[in-house]
Structure 1
Amino acid sequence: MPTSVLPSADPARREPVSTRRIVLGTAAVALVPVVLAAAGLLHPHHLTQDTAGRWITLHLLLLPVFPLLAGSLLFLLRGLRGPWVTVARVGSYLYAIFYTALDAIAGVAYGTLLANTDDPASLTRAGTAIDVVGGALGLIGSSGFLLASVATTVALASRYGTRRVATGGTILIAASVLWLGSHIYWPEGVITVLCLGLGAGLLNIAREGAPSGPAAAVS
């Protein structure tokens, strides 16, 4: 009696990624930028005693949100290894720590101070000091994010091909450069974070739609 022989599995092949998985992954990396953009539409352009309450509330709510922006990059790097992945993680850590510190000091602390102080001279001195410290914290944090964005793009390009990730990576890096000098204020800040989400989303689509081969470390 003839014996049937099943074809051996090809280790270099995998099942096509489902559309649902691509959509969910893309939504995941774009969610935080969209939330930040929505918050930017509500963010006062100037901190005054009239806007202090909304300023404080908004920054309190955003304290756990800002660090999650780096989570989009870490999500894109899932399953990858190598020096560029390590650099991206370090940059993400720097961003999460220092940008959150900016939010706490220039957002929550300064807003609370202004809401409870009537001495203009004291407010001026405190505001100047907070602007200097907050500016330094924000620059370090956003520089860390730029570093993480570049490293993430290089890591994905090394694994999936430069042409495949070029569009998403270019948008992500360009938006990260703009993020160096902006917050979430409308309009430039809102547009910047939306571009961060767009770049990350396109990178996720490029990653999930890439032809698969044996998993390889990024070198």
Structure 2
Amino acid sequence: MKDVHLSNRSILIQRLIILGTPFVLGLLEITHPIGMMNKTPFQSVVPKVDWWITLHLLQLPLFGLLGIAVLLLVNNLKGLPVMISRIGIAFFLIFYTALDSIMGIAGGVLIRSAKDLSKNIQIFAEKQFNLLLFDPIFGGSTFSLISVLGGGGWLIGIIAAAIALKRAGASLFSVVLLIASGFLFGLAHVPPTGPIGMACFFIAVAMIDPRIWMGEKIS
């Protein structure tokens, strides 16, 4: 009886991660500050810099939980797609969180520390923020090395997971939605692609019978 209780609690926690993470993350991404017309990136973030930093701090554990959600979906499945999915999600967890830390948190702290200082210091800070945005290695607004490794890892991990789930019995529609989330969220987590991508992910996993990702055979 105790083992059954523990098993039920484990399943509940897994479902909470798989369903709750994309739901919460998708809602948060709706509020993600984006560039404003006739404003530089620095000027666009300044009025919302406190929320910018808070949001990117919240994203760190949520990105981690999102990766775990995908790993849980394939944890009890077998085959080459499962292995590829795990590798892709590993890249996502490493490089996407690194991108968020550099671009989001470090960039936000830079802006907040300079926003009330002299004009010359703000100009200098703006140049530094632009370096964070467009750097070819870790830039957040271009196809930098880290963004490609992180976003690409998410895309590959999701596509491979979708293939594994389809083989295990998931519906074609749920698989298509899952793949769509890979492309949309992998492209950018800001609006509109980020929230839409998480909506696709949430609907997809909500449609999949839990017995499939638990590794049970469905007659």
Under a length normalisation based on structure 2, what TM-score does the superposition of the two structures give?
0.75
Greater percentage in helix? 2
Give, in angstroms, the shift of residue 23 of structure 1: 8.3
Does residue 145 of the first structure (1) align with residue 142 of the second (2)? no
Give the fraction of aligned pairs with identical amino acids, expressed as a percent. Answer: 29
Does the CA-based 8 Å contact 1:172-1:199 persist in structure 2? Answer: yes
Give, in angstroms, the shift of residue 194 of structure 1: 1.3
Aligned-partner residue type, residue 148 of structure 2: L
**Could you give the per-residue CA deviations for residues 62-89 of structure 1, whole angstroms, max 9, x where no partner exists?**
2111121121211111222332211110
Task: Decide which moves more: 188-197 or 95-104.
Answer: 188-197
Q: Which residue is 2:125 aligned to?
A: 123
Does the CA-based 8 Å contact 1:37-1:194 persist in structure 2? Answer: yes
Does residue 106 of the first structure (1) align with residue 110 of the second (2)? no
Change in CA separation of 1:208 and 1:112 when aligned onto 2, cut-off 3 Å: closer
Q: Which residue is 1:33 aligned to?
A: 22
Compute the RMSD of aligned alpha carbons.
2.8
Aligned-partner residue type, residue 91 of structure 1: G
Does residue 51 of the first structure (1) align with residue 40 of the second (2)? no
**Could you give the per-residue CA deviations for residues 157-190 of structure 1, whole angstroms, max 9, x where no partner exists?**
3333xxx4311111010121112322233x4421
Does residue 177 of the first structure (1) align with residue 183 of the second (2)? yes
Structure 1 unaligned runs (5+)?
Answer: 1-19, 214-219
Of 194, 198, 202, the residue aligned with 1:197 is: 202
Q: What CA distance in whole angstroms lies between the structure 1 residues aligned with 2:55 and 2:99?
A: 14
Does the CA-based 8 Å contact 1:25-1:204 persist in structure 2? Answer: no
Change in CA separation of 1:206 and 1:169 when aligned onto 2, cut-off 3 Å: farther
**Could you give the per-residue CA deviations for residues 20-57 of structure 1, whole angstroms, max 9, x where no partner exists?**
99987655412111111221233223443321111111
Does the CA-based 8 Å contact 2:185-2:193 persist in structure 1? Answer: no
Does the CA-based 8 Å contact 2:70-2:161 persist in structure 1? Answer: yes
Structure 2 unaligned runs (5+)?
Answer: 1-8, 36-43
Q: Which residue is 2:41 aligned to?
A: none
SS in 2 for 1:63: helix
Highest RCO, 1 vs 2 (Cα 8 Å, sep ≥ 6): 1
Q: What CA distance in whole angstroms lies between the structure 2 residues aligned with 1:108 and 1:77?
A: 31
Higher Cα Rg, which structure? 1
Of 154, 157, 163, the residue aligned with 2:163 is: 154
Give, in angstroms, the shift of residue 145 of structure 1: 0.9
**Could you give the per-residue CA deviations for residues 72-130 of structure 1, whole angstroms, max 9, x where no partner exists?**
21111122233221111000100011110111011110000011124233223212221
Under a length normalisation based on structure 1, what TM-score does the superposition of the two structures give?
0.75
